[in-house]
Amino acid sequence: MTAAARLARPRLQRTDDGDWIDDLMGATDQAEWAELVTLALAGAAANFGGVEAILAGRSGSWEAEGIRQLLHSTVGPDENALWEHRTEPLEITLHVDELLAERTDINSHYDAATEEIQRRFEAAEAADPPIDYSRYVWEYERAGDGRWVPQSPAAPPWSLEAWRASLDVDGVDPAVRESLEASLLAWSAMSCAVSSHTRTVARRSGCRALAAAHHWAGATCGSRR
């Protein structure tokens, strides 16, 4: 407070147009200390939750009454102008999952999606003739220099560009491709489907060359030695 009282403010000077501006080259006046203190008290009260909230420690004292009158003269007895003095951010906690459950039918969409996924699994298991999953699997083995070497005859050398191009050929929806790519590049510590050592199986349906995608992203993929 003492340092604030020693602050100076420039005097005003009138321009030829009749406007008032700070005279930065002239003498200065003492800062409006009373205004500074009043605004500081209003800011503290607004941050704390209101005039009575900040005076609750001893609201009946003469000091509290003096501060109360000062604040009411600044923000009004109904405190309507108090919140414009708030200096701290207002934090609002939202429980998004509860809001979605209460205000939308998201649960029914989730249940419907779960049922559809289960239906597709069951349809695949009951297919006649059975689905030959080997058509949808490429195998890669990690070489000593860290490269992923294709082991399946149809498996191309791995690169992110080749993986993107293969999805384009298959007509995969762009939104699905973006989701798959984000998943491939984000996984860092998850293991791929592996055999006993470094042989990695990458499913062609969506996770094509998954092991190599991990390698591309700088992740460790495969069985832990």
Q: Which of 85, 117, 143 is the last residue of a domain?
A: 85
Rounded CA-CA distance 207/180 in Å is 7
Q: Which residues are bridge partners to 28 per DSSP?
A: 10
**By C-alpha distance, which of 160, 125, 127, 154 is closest to 139?**
154
Asked if residue 111 is part of any domain, the answer here is: no
The first and second tokens of residue 156, run together, are 């191309």
Q: How many structural domains is the chain composed of?
A: 2
Asked if residue 166 is part of any domain, the answer here is: yes
Q: Note whether 63 and 7 are same-domain residues.
A: yes
Q: Which of 85, 115, 150 is the last residue of a domain?
A: 85
Asked if residue 105 is part of any domain, the answer here is: no
User: Distances from the Cα of 120 to the Cαs of 106, 116, 131, 225, in angstroms?
Assistant: 21, 6, 13, 36
Q: Note whether 74 and 141 are same-domain residues.
A: no
Asked if residue 164 is part of any domain, the answer here is: yes
User: Distances from the Cα of 89 to the Cαs of 26, 44, 53, 84, 163, in angstroms?
Assistant: 38, 13, 18, 12, 46
Asked if residue 65 is part of any domain, the answer here is: yes
Residue by residue, pLDDT tens for the chain (225 residues) are 888 788 887 787 788 888 888 877 778 878 788 888 999 999 999 999 999 999 999 999 999 999 999 999 999 999 999 999 999 998 889 999 889 888 999 889 889 999 998 998 888 888 888 877 776 677 778 778 867 788 888 777 777 677 677 777 666 677 776 776 666 555 433 333 333 233 344 443 333 334 333 333 333 333 333
b (16+ CB within 10 A) / e for 103-140: eeeeeeeeeeeeeeeeeeeeeeeeeeeeeeeeeebbbb
Asked if residue 81 is part of any domain, the answer here is: yes
Q: Which of 45, 63, 85 is the last residue of a domain?
A: 85
The whole-model pTM stands at: 0.40
Asked if residue 124 is part of any domain, the answer here is: no
Q: Which domain holds residue 143?
A: 133-216
